[in-house]
């Protein structure tokens, strides 16, 4: 919910800068609908013309817990791996449905390409979490590291 609130604030700022036009929905939930203005299209074109080599920013509590997994019980790492694998598989299912909707829409080819990159990352992550879970399940002895204090 917080991310929706932040997005709404950004949209309002863009509207205040006359890069977006806002229109209130007449029925239903009375949502605000935004449309790019001519100035907004120009600003967007400038932004799109700037190449970027940034890396994806991954904020994952699962990865943080795995990083400190040497302090955890083996079975807890296995449960973490199973939960993470399931989460990535669920996202694969959701993005798969979106991909089906975008297929055959030439105007959406770039959205489809971005979605496929995201799906490839989720597919790789699900497979790696599965491998981590299997590896920890199969270990005969698993000694927990002790925190030195």
Instruction: Domain ranges for the chain, please list them.
Output: 8-41, 61-138
Is residue 34 a contact partner of residue 15, using CB atoms and an 8 Å limit?
yes
The band of 4, judged by pLDDT with boundaries at 50, 70 and 90, is low
Q: How many CA atoms lie within 13 A of 45 on its CB side?
A: 7
| 17 DSSP 8-state letter | T
How far is the C-alpha of 126 from the C-alpha of 122, rounded, in Å?
A: 6
The listed range with the strongest mean pLDDT (6-10, 15-19, 24-28, 84-88) is 84-88
Q: 105-109, 117-121, 137-141: lowest mean pLDDT where?
A: 137-141
pLDDT, tens only, 58-105: 999 999 999 999 999 999 999 999 999 999 999 999 999 999 999 988
Asked if residue 147 has pLDDT above 60, the reply is: no
Two tokens, residue 101: 């909707």
**In 3D, which of 30, 38, 43, 35 has the Cα closest to residue 15?**
35
């Amino acid at each position: 919910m917080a991310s929706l609130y932040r997005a709404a604030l950004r949209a309002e700022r863009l509207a205040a800068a006359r890069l977006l036009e806002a229109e209130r929905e007449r029925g239903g939930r009375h949502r605000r609908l935004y449309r790019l203005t001519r100035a907004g299209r120009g600003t967007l074109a400038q932004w799109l013309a700037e190449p970027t080599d940034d890396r994806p920013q991954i904020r994952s509590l699962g990865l943080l817990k795995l990083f400190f997994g040497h302090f955890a019980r083996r079975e807890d790492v296995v449960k973490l791996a199973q939960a993470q694998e399931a989460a990535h598989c669920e996202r694969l299912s959701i993005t798969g449905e979106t991909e089906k909707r975008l297929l055959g829409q030439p105007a959406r080819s770039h959205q489809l390409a971005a979605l496929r990159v995201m799906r490839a990352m989720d597919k790789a992550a699900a497979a790696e979490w599965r491998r981590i879970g299997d590896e920890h399940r199969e270990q005969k002895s698993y000694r927990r590291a002790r925190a030195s204090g």
